[in-house]
Amino acid sequence: MYRLIFTLAGVYNIVFGLWAALFPHALFRLLDLGEPSHPGIWACLGMVVGLYGLVYLQVAFTDPSRRRSALTFSGRRVEYDFTRFLIAIGLVGKTLGPIGFVIAVHNRELPVRMLTLLVFDDLIWWPAFLFYLIDDTAIADGLRRHAPQICSVVHAATAAATLVWIRGGSEAVADSSRRAAFIASHAATWRAGWVLWMIAAVTLVGFYCWWMARSTRPRLAGAALGVAFAGLAADFFADSLFIGWMPDRYAEVARLTTWVSEVVANGLYSVTGTMLMLASPPMPATFRLWGWSIWVSGFTLAVFGATRWDAGIVATSAMLLALFIPWVWLAGRRFEAAA
C-alpha cells in the first residue's frame, strides 16, 4: 500500500513540477488569479516540488530491510529509519504550505479558491504520510483495529451535520437560486460541513484498506484500493470546489461539483465496494445481501446524479447512508469472525 501511495506522490510531484516550470502562467489562468508579475518565481518553485517527487519515489522503492541509517553524536551511534526521515520532511512541507495559505487568505493576498491546488499538493497526502510515521506504534494499531467503527461514527456525525449545516444548499432545495442564497448566508457552516465530508472520505478509504487486508483475493483487492484512491482524489476535488469556489462562483461550478461528487467519486467508491465484496471471505447470506444493497444504492445515486434528478439524489443518498453506517460498524465483527 505504501509503495503505491508514495509512487503516486512521486509521480504527482514530478508532473506538477514540470507543469509549473514549463507553463508558469497556466495555474494562474486556471484559477483566475490574474497574470503573475514574476512567473519565473513560480517556475522555480515547480522545480523544487518536482525534486520532492524523486524523494517519494526513493521511499517507495527502498527495500524495507535496508531502511536503516545512523549518525554519531558525541561518540554515540544513533540509528534511524531514513525513509521516515524523508517522509517527515515531506509532511512538514505539506503542513507549512496550508499554514501559509491560511495566513495569505486572512490577509486577503490569496483567494479561498486556491484551496483546490492545496488539496492535491498537500491535504490529500496527510493521512498516508502521517500513518507511515507512526506505523509501528500503539496508536496505529488501534486505528487499524477500529477502522470500521471510526468510519461508521464519522459518517454518522457528518450526515447529521449535513442535515443541520448544509441541507439548504443541497438538492433537498429544488430552486438553485435559493441554494445559492443559503450558501452565501451560511458560508462558514457550509465550508465546515464539506471539511467533515473530506474527513469522512479519508475514513472510508481507511476502511477499504482494512477490508483489503482481510480479502481472500489479494490482487483483486489491491486493484480495488487503486480505484478507491481515484475516488478519493475526485471527492477531494469536488469538496475543494464546494469550499473554495462557493458562494462567489456558484453559477460557474455548481453543476460540475455535484457531478464529480455524486457520479465520479461516488461511482468509484461503489466500484471499490463491489470489487471488495467479490474478494471477501465468506459471510452470512443476510449480511452479504445487505452489503450488495449498499453498492447498488451507490450506483443508483450515480445514475440519478448524472441525470440530475434531485428527488432521486436526496432519497438515494439517505438510503445509502442509512444502509452503510450500521453495516460498516458490524463489518468489523463479521470479517474478523470469518478470518
pLDDT tens readout for residues 232-280: 999 999 999 999 998 888 888 888 998 999 999 999 999 999 999 999 8
Q: Model confidence at 288, in pLDDT bands (50, 70, 90)?
A: very high
Which phi and psi (to 5°) does residue 215 adopt?
-80, 160
Side chain identity at residue 282, one-letter code: P
CA distance 10 to 59: 9
Mean pLDDT over 108-112 rounds to 90
Centre a 10 Å sphere on the Cβ of residue 202 and count the other Cβ atoms it contains. Answer: 20
CA distance 13 to 19: 10
Strand partners, 73: 76
Q: Model confidence at 338, in pLDDT bands (50, 70, 90)?
A: low
50, containing H or E segment: helix 39-60
CA distance 132 to 140: 9
CA distance 298 to 304: 10
Side chain identity at residue 218, one-letter code: P
| The pLDDT of residue 335 is above 80 | no
Distance of CA 118 to the CA centre of its chain: 12
pLDDT of residue 90: 95
| The pLDDT of residue 59 is above 70 | yes
Domain segments of the chain: what residues? 1-136, 140-339
Mean pLDDT over 213-225 rounds to 92
68-77 per-position pLDDT tens digit: 888 787 778 8
Question: Which residues, other chains included, contact 153 with Cβ-Cβ below 8 Å and sequence gap of 6+?
Answer: none
**Max avg pLDDT among 23-27, 38-42, 104-108, 321-325:** 321-325
pLDDT of residue 194: 95
Q: Model confidence at 298, in pLDDT bands (50, 70, 90)?
A: very high
Closest by CA to 167, choosing from 140, 196, 189, 143, is: 189
| The pLDDT of residue 36 is above 90 | no
Please give the share of the chain, as a percent, with pLDDT higher than 70.
99
Q: What is the pTM of this model?
A: 0.92
Q: Model confidence at 337, in pLDDT bands (50, 70, 90)?
A: low
pLDDT of residue 339: 54
Residues in the chain: 339
200-213 per-position pLDDT tens digit: 999 999 999 999 99
pLDDT of residue 49: 92
| The pLDDT of residue 11 is above 70 | yes
CA distance 179 to 173: 6
Centre a 10 Å sphere on the Cβ of residue 308 and count the other Cβ atoms it contains. Answer: 14
pLDDT of residue 30: 87
Mean pLDDT score across all residues of the chain: 92
